[in-house]
Amino acid sequence: MRKLNFDQAGLTRREFLVSSAVSAVPQRGISLRDSPAMPADAPWYTRIRRVGQINFNERDPLTMDVESWMDYWASLKADAVLLNGGGIVAFYPTELPYHHRSQFLGTRDLFGEAVAAAVKRSIRVVARMDCNFAYEEAFKAHPEWFERDRDGSPRKHAEAPWLYATCMFSPYFTEQMPAIFREINHRYAVSGFFTNGWPSTGPLGVCHCEICRTIFREKLGGEPPEETDATSAHYRQYYEIYMGRIAEVWKLWDLIAKEKQPDAVYVGNLGGGIHTVKSLRRFADFASWFNADHQGRAGDTPIWDCAQQGRVARAVMKGKTVTNVTGAYSNSRPVWRHVSKSAAETTLWLAQTTASGMVPWYHWLGGTPEDNRWRETGRLFYRWIASNEPHFRNRQPLADLAVVYPQSTISFYRSSGPRAWRGGDRTQSADYLQGLYYALLEGRFLFDFVHQEDLPTAALSKYRALLAPNAAYLRDSECEAIRRYVAAGGSLWATFETSRYNEWGDAREDLALGDVFGASLTGDTIGPAGNSYMRIEAPHPVTRHFEGTSLLPGSENRVSLRRLHPSRPELSVVPAYPAYPPEMVYPRTSRTEEPAAILSEKGGSRVAYFPGDVDRTFWRSGNTDLGLLIRDSIAWVMGEGGRTVEVEGDGVVEIFLWQTESGFALHLLNYTNPNMTRGLIRRHYPIGPLSVILDFPGAQSISDVQALRNPMRLPIRREGGRVHFVVPKVGDCEVVALT
Ligand SMILES: [Zn+2]
């Protein structure tokens, strides 16, 4: 049986396709880099698969039974636990000034006891710290450690106003926290440190303390802007200074963590899902462990929010350790810290964590719970992973498509000008990606995220197409990477203002990728306006499912442009007309030459460009035609030939395929649920049978197919290089081990 490996042979996928045509090998497949097994001396945290956290409260020293807690984590086969060391509250008899001992500590050393109980059970301990607040005693002795408002008043915690917010530019971060880390490291058998709440991936804070004012005066020549206005030169400098300080502190704390044990580690608090402002790409330069604090969802956040977090983190960490915290408590809005979340929601969150390549980190608050329902939920899931562990040891994901993670757009889009978004509206900047994501789920495509800053160096040739959901803010180098990819025969799908601005939002005279799209701007962006349409002008594979209509719903916004190569568009714009009152509802201009899509083909390369925000309009409206149009246009740019994985059968399913240490693993996440886009999930609605076809170079070597969740061996049928099998039923999720 022949196992193909392009990269071993030094071939790109495209070269492989050319050479395989000659050698009569099936003309499809994706790159399987022969990634070596993890070296035996790899740091301990690269091998962990299950993490637990019990978050102590100040009163816990009175009542907490550490032995029974560690029995619980041992029963989950946890590799590591997070235990509160100090920061706001020291849970050990600290000798350091201004490090507040728990008022209930008495003669106990709660942290020390818990560390010993964990280590006795061969569980690693990461000291969970909080660097963000301190008591008044510290404020009085070191007023320079603390954040100030513009009027100079200190900032206090909203719910615990006796705590003062510390400033990350102050010596609290470079002197006091290091002293605490060193005291803990010296006394206890800890393998690392984690800081709650810092640095986060969200918006930058602004502090007016003396130290910050000096920094800003000297480096910015003024005060930092309060608002995220990325078009301001001032804000851009501030962003650099801020990210620079995070890097400086992170590296310092990591060095301190390693003072006793070289493979110890500092891990910061990241996360944010697809909504990020601080540069994730930059974090990956100095972080050896990405912990996503993405514990659950609220409101109308879709259930796949956790899998998206995994894709984002994986894109920048590229195989380095990524963990994700799952709140076992009810972290909805409003929040309940001391009752369990529904078991069904928690389990699907954990399943997304592992499916997207992250390591689960299960979290409860308070040492003497009155609600213990969450315990069995975590235990069942963790023990299931443990009993199938080789199939959860991933080497690399397999994917047909690359989705650009457009972080600059998500961070800064429309941060100034008359169309600016303020406050909560800013979350809309991810709606383009969200709409594309939903369509990818409906189409069951296999895809990776590629961070925009990685475009110039990413091995894009292994993907059959690159998708850019309104990547409006792109660097010249990133546009050039996309241009090169298409020129080399790659295919592209893009929407709306992709490449119109640089990474900070400075408008270009024309779309930087206009030559690739075959379009040139003629005016300003039009919209938002409902009741506009797309007219089907000529038959095309992209519109093949729309028999019975010549009109499709139009996008809410669009750029005005002309085609560089005039020809009749396959889809044209019908401009908006009144939707009310009914007497007025008729098109004023029923036919235009303005393209609603530009579909071009050159050699093996296909480009589909939508001047409208079809992705965002799809997400906001849920319109089924738009979803179908996005799916069919992606299928068209992918070109002929089978997909790596095809899954047939009813249901909304997200799929991941990993090359693992023991073969391959196909993850199927069942989102088919009335609570898919408004939580929380009450129960699972089983789907199946699902018919699966695998078609990639490694598939020929598969001889055994086992379902792990609903355990059974699945009979396989071969056809050429393809492998068929049927998964009879999927409850919450299924993992199919392919060896
Ligand atoms: Zn400050």
pLDDT score, position 32: 56
pTM of the model: 0.94
Sorted by where each starts, the structural domains of the chain and their CATH numbers stand as 44-387 (3.20.20.80), 400-638 (3.40.50.880), 645-738 (2.60.40.1180)
At residue 263, what are phi and psi to the nearest 5 degrees? -100, 15
CA of 206 to the centre of ligand 1 (A): 8
- Reading the block at residue 540, the tokens are 């095309």
Q: DSSP string covering 112-156, please?
A: HHHHHHHHHTT-EEEEEEE-SEEEHHHHHH-GGGB-B-TTSPBPB
CA of 180 to the centre of ligand 1 (A): 21
Residues of the chain with pLDDT below 50 are 1-31
CA of 175 to the centre of ligand 1 (A): 15
CA of 368 to the centre of ligand 1 (A): 37
Distance CA 453, CA 503 (A): 10
Instruction: State the virtual CA torsion across 430, 431, 437, 438 in degrees, nearest 10.
Output: 150
CA of 209 to the centre of ligand 1 (A): 4
Instruction: State the virtual CA torsion across 94, 99, 104, 106 in degrees, nearest 10.
Output: 30
Pairing of strands 705-707, 733-738: antiparallel
Q: DSSP string covering 328-345, please?
A: SEE-SSS-EEEEEPPHHH
Q: In this predicted model, what pLDDT tens digit does every residue of 490-539 receive, in sequence order? A: 999 999 999 999 999 999 999 999 999 999 999 999 999 999 999 999 99
Residue 481 is inside which H or E element, if any? helix 476-487
- In this structure, what DSSP letter does residue 46 have? G
pLDDT score, position 6: 31
320 touches 326 (CB < 8 A): no
Q: How many helices (H) and strands (E) does the chain have?
A: 18, 33
pLDDT score, position 78: 98
CA of 176 to the centre of ligand 1 (A): 15
* Omega cis (within 30) before 528: yes
Distance CA 139, CA 393 (A): 47
CA of 234 to the centre of ligand 1 (A): 17
CA of 165 to the centre of ligand 1 (A): 10
Positions of E strands within 399-510: 401-405, 447-451, 465-468, 492-495
The strands making up 653-660's β-sheet, listed across from edge to edge, are 394-398, 653-660, 664-670, 733-738, 705-707, 712-713
- Reading the block at residue 174, the tokens are 């470079």
Residue 645 is inside which H or E element, if any? strand 645-648
CA of 222 to the centre of ligand 1 (A): 14
pLDDT score, position 570: 95
List, in sequence order, every residue forming a beta bridge with 625; answer none if it has no partner.
Answer: none
CA of 305 to the centre of ligand 1 (A): 33
Exposed / middle / buried, residue 21 (Cβ in 10 Å: 0-12, 13-18, 19+): exposed
CA of 170 to the centre of ligand 1 (A): 6
CA of 337 to the centre of ligand 1 (A): 31
Distance CA 636, CA 43 (A): 44
CA of 145 to the centre of ligand 1 (A): 8
36-48 b/e with 16+ CB inside 10 Å = b?
eeeeeeebebbeb
pLDDT score, position 24: 28
CA of 215 to the centre of ligand 1 (A): 9
Q: Which residue is associated with the tokens 């740091």?
A: 43
CA of 129 to the centre of ligand 1 (A): 20
CA of 286 to the centre of ligand 1 (A): 23
Distance CA 315, CA 704 (A): 30
- Reading the block at residue 416, the tokens are 């100034």
Whole-number CA gyration radius for the chain: 27
pLDDT score, position 416: 81
655 touches 446 (CB < 8 A): yes
pLDDT score, position 224: 77
- In this structure, what DSSP letter does residue 161 have? T
How far does the chain reach from its first CA to its final CA, in angstroms? 14
How far out from the chain centre does Cα 739 lie?
Answer: 29
Return left, alpha or beta for 638; rule: phi > 0 is left, psi -120 to 50 is alpha, else beta.
Answer: alpha
